[in-house]
Chains A and B, each alone.
Chain A
Amino acid sequence: GEDVEQSLFLSVREGDSSVINCTYTDSSSTYLYWYKQEPGAGLQLLTYIFSNMDMKQDQRLTVLLNKKDKHLSLRIADTQTGDSAIYFCAERSGNTPLVFGKGTRLSVIA
């Protein structure tokens, strides 16, 4: 089946930028998503990008998509302690359910 890979951990200093990376195998992916999960909480949709886009920016968040390399990244500018959470990358193609990565745990050091 299709697969989504993420590094498991990332640690950054408060005020720096965070870049969380994701690779996927499905060449027919249509939508790619980033979700945030804080401890004890459900999943919060941060942003998503359609596969015909290269970039999407929303306030402190920038999503970059390299469709040729099947690589997605999420950049968080001016990272704050409140950004500490697990970030999940997910993709889907056509009328199929989302496939999630294992999540990247972001730790922000004050």
Chain B
Amino acid sequence: SAVISQKPSRDICQRGTSLTIQCQVDSQVTMMFWYRQQPGQSLTLIATANQGSEATYESGFVIDKFPISRPNLTFSTLTVSNMSPEDSSIYLCSVFTSGMYTGELFFGEGSRLTVL
């Protein structure tokens, strides 16, 4: 398994501000995934972060709103920019530990954002 640490675990933010969420993995992984879980909803993939290249965003998510960094094989950040109350969600980082897209996908504990 993988140990995935996210910071912050929760935060309350003001409308119009930006917040950066950090994800640290205890082993080197090729791909890291960022998901959003809106209140009472399922998980939606925001983007896939590859080390050394631009993140790949899913339909409905754009880089200007959710910039992602992936400086090395164990770390990634997701920024939620110019936040509005609709961005209140749990943001989760996840990784495959067995290689790209094989087997087990593990999640961090999530970062719970409330935007006022």
Q: Which A residues fall within an 8 A CB radius of B?
A: 31, 33, 35, 40-45, 48, 88, 90, 92, 94-98, 100-103
State the Cβ distance, B42 to closest chain A Cβ, in Å.
Answer: 5
Contact A45 B105 (CB under 8 A): yes
**Chain B residue nearest in CB terms to A35:** B107
State the Cβ distance, A105 to closest chain B Cβ, in Å.
Answer: 10
Contact A100 B42 (CB under 8 A): yes
**B53 — which chain A residues lie within 8 A by C-beta?**
none
Contact B105 A42 (CB under 8 A): no
Contact B101 A48 (CB under 8 A): no
**B90 — which chain A residues lie within 8 A by C-beta?**
42
Contact B107 A43 (CB under 8 A): yes
Contact B100 A95 (CB under 8 A): yes
Contact A45 B104 (CB under 8 A): yes
**Chain A residue nearest in CB terms to B43:** A100
Contact A102 B42 (CB under 8 A): yes
**B109 — which chain A residues lie within 8 A by C-beta?**
41-42
Q: Is B13 on the interface with A (CB-CB < 8 A)?
A: no
* Complex: A50 Cα to B43 Cα, angstroms: 21
Contact A42 B43 (CB under 8 A): no
Contact among B1, B41, B94, B103 with A102 in the assembled complex (CB-CB below 8 Å) = B41
